[in-house]
Structure 1
Amino acid sequence: MKFVQLDSRGGNYLVVASNVAWLRVGENGQTLVGIVGGQPLLVTGTPESVAEKILAG
């Protein structure tokens, strides 16, 4: 299992990279990260920058 740290304005998340289903533009320059079997997370950064973290992590 590969964990990736995603930063949020309310705290940071450690997410299993293979559980990320989709990315979508959120509010105020943030990104919604869809998680398989869970609620979306609102994290900082653009979808492109979040995708880079997930793929590099």
Structure 2
Amino acid sequence: MKFILLKSRGGDYLVVAANIAYLRADENGQTKVGIVGGDSLLVVGSMEEVAEKVLAG
């Protein structure tokens, strides 16, 4: 199981990479990360930056 650290303005998340369903651009340079079977998370960074973290992590 591979965990990815995603930073948010309200706190940080450790997310299981296999549970990420989608990335969607949001306002103010943030990205919504869709989680399988759950709500989306609003994290800091563009879709490209978040995708790099997911693929590199």
TM-score, length basis structure 1: 0.98
**Who is 1:46 aligned against?**
46
**Residue type of the alignment partner of 1:21:** A
Distance 1:48 1:42 in 2: 15
Q: Distance in 2 between matches of 1:20 and 1:27?
A: 20
1:18 aligns with 2:18: yes
More helix by share: 2
**In structure 2, C-alpha distance between the alignment counterparts of 1:17 and 1:55, rounded to whole Å:** 9
Q: Which runs of 4+ in 1 moved over 3 A?
A: none
The alignment's C-alpha RMSD in Å is: 0.4
For the residue of structure 2 that corresponds to 1:37, the secondary structure is coil
TM superposition score normalised by structure 2: 0.98
The answer for unaligned runs of 5 or more in structure 1 is none
SS at match of 1:54: helix
Count of matched residue pairs = 57
The sequence identity of aligned pairs, in percent, is 70
